[in-house]
């Protein structure tokens, strides 16, 4: 009898242990209030208001006055972009900005899609909402939220949006856009503190808070389920959205899933992967990007992470100077669009800026930061997130079906094995043909193809 009791107890303990091991963790969070002062008695105003980006003559005159008062400084001889943005290149950009760039024309381009604002947790959240073109009567649209990072904005997705929303003929296999009658409805918000979204007025607003706000935004728009895509901070925010509400996020697609160095699989694969690549699923490209370890995985990111340390510690100090100087702001932002697009661009005097982007698009992104005065608040997002660098979300796996687009010139390379340590339900992993950190803006057709293929796969599985 005693033996039977002991066996039963042991078996019960094993079952409980197994249940505890297999039970999926869900990220927990609590509502916040990020508006100025105390929350109102009645809570948030739930209304949704149309918003239009505007341009005034006074705004332009102030910009030109500040640009004309800039104090140039010569770059070192033969320094290209190795010391940051090259002054000769910057002078040409500023000259174009001052004499040829038409901000009013770009404002009209920005306003070609409907913009809205709504208050969530005390802050006015801006978003672009684009419904599918030519939606047949009775057809259902599939909502997708696109989330940007730093130093980007909602404008990063302006080349991608028409490829996602314009359905083309089923038999047109060469069309770069949407096929098979998949009608996508795009919601593209500005992160709080970025662009035209109000900045939090209180400390502590990190990626989990942004994820909670965006989940609330999607509910307010009437979506019970949706897909999410992001890069840079957007990749983390959409990941947190999936961790918070895995039953709501139908599928997660990211193009920035940096490896976390605290798991056994990654360390083991680093030690043995060069000699036994097939054991860890390493491709020849993985080997090329990973080894030698010190050069590719540690030294190069260290060269490119000075900004991160500044913004994660004292964002208000350097941010104040950038907020006052449009030329300084452009230098700070455009240098990232050079070296983060292709690290070899550092060897060019013009930084390769117009090899992948137009000056109009680059300066439009800069102007969104300038006219909204958001550079300081956007940089604070680093401090808030690095203050919570070991927060609960780092320990919670992602069980939502996930697709990863791995672009070859991304800042940090990751492998399929490493991605699976975080994203336990990985459905697709694509090694993209070309592209860097700002993939949606640089290679919108490639991004559209991969995102559409992922969503189509998920929809067809139903």
Pair of tokens at residue 169? 């003929």
DSSP collapsed to 3 states, 284-335: HHHHHHHCCHHHHHHHHHHHCCHHHHHHHHCHHHHHHHHHHCHHHHHHHHHH
122 and 43 Cβ atoms separated by less than 8 Å: no
Catalytic residue chosen out of the listed positions 127, 227, 332, 382: 382
411 and 404 Cβ atoms separated by less than 8 Å: no
Beta bridge partners of 144: 186, 227
Query: Is 382 noted as a catalytic residue in this protein?
Result: yes
**DSSP string of 174-235, one letter each residue:** T-SSB-TT--EEEEEEPPTTSTTSPPPSSTT--HHHHHHHHHHHHHHTT-SSEEEEE-THHH
Catalytic residue chosen out of the listed positions 115, 183, 232, 286: 232
Looking only at the bridges linking them, the beta strands covering 142-147 and 184-189 are parallel
DSSP collapsed to 3 states, 10-33: HHHHHHHHHHHHHCCCCCCCCCCC
Query: Is 100 noted as a catalytic residue in this protein?
Result: no
CA distance 55 to 103: 8
Pair of tokens at residue 366? 């800069």
Looking only at the bridges linking them, the beta strands covering 142-147 and 226-230 are parallel
Pair of tokens at residue 185? 């409805």
Strand positions, DSSP E, 15-86: 48-51
Nearest residue to 204 via CA among 30, 82, 3: 30
Q: Could you list the active site residues?
A: 232, 382, 437
């Amino acid at each position: 009898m005693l033996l039977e009791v002991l066996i039963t107890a042991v078996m019960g303990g094993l079952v409980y242990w197994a249940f505890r091991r297999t039970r999926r963790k869900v990220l927990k969070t609590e509502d916040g209030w990020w508006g100025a002062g105390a929350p109102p008695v009645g809570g948030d105003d739930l209304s949704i208001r149309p918003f239009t980006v505007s341009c005034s003559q006074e705004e332009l005159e102030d910009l030109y006055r500040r640009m004309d008062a800039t104090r140039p400084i010569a770059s070192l001889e033969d320094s290209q972009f190795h010391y940051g943005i090259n002054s000769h290149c910057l002078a040409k950009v500023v000259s174009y900005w001052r004499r040829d760039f038409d901000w009013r024309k770009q404002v009209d381009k920005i306003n070609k899609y409907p913009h809205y604002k709504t208050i969530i947790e005390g802050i006015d959240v801006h978003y672009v909402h684009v419904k599918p073109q030519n939606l047949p009567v009775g057809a259902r649209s599939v909502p997708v939220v696109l989330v940007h990072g730093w130093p980007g904005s909602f404008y990063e997705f302006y080349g991608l949006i028409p490829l996602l929303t314009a359905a083309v003929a089923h038999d047109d296999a060469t069309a770069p856009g949407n096929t098979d009658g998949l009608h996508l409805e795009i919601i593209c918000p500005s992160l709080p503190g970025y662009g035209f979204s109000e900045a939090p007025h209180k400390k502590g607003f990190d990626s989990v808070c942004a994820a909670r706000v965006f989940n609330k935004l999607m509910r307010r728009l009437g979506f019970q389920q949706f897909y999410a895509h992001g890069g840079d901070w957007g990749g983390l925010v959409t990941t947190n959205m999936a961790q918070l509400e895995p039953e709501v996020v139908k599928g997660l697609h990211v193009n920035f899933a940096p490896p976390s160095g605290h798991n056994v699989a990654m360390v083991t694969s680093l030690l043995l992967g060069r000699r036994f690549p097939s054991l860890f699923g390493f491709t020849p490209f993985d080997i090329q990007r990973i080894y030698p370890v010190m050069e590719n995985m540690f030294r190069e990111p260290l060269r490119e992470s000075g900004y991160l340390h500044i913004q994660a510690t004292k964002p208000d100090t350097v941010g104040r100077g950038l907020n006052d100087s449009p030329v300084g702001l452009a230098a700070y932002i455009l240098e990232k669009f050079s070296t983060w697009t292709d690290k070899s661009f550092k060897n060019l005097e013009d930084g390769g800026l117009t090899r992948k982007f137009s000056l109009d698009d680059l300066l439009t992104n800069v102007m969104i930061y300038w006219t909204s005065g958001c550079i300081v608040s956007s940089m604070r997002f680093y401090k808030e997130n690095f203050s919570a660098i070991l927060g609960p979300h780092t320990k919670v796996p992602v069980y939502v079906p996930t697709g990863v687009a791995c672009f070859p010139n991304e800042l940090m390379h990751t492998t399929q094995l490493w991605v699976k340590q975080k994203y336990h339900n990985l459905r697709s992993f694509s090694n993209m043909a070309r592209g860097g950190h700002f993939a949606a803006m640089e290679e919108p057709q490639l991004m559209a193809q991969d995102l559409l293929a992922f969503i189509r796969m998920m929809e067809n599985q139903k």
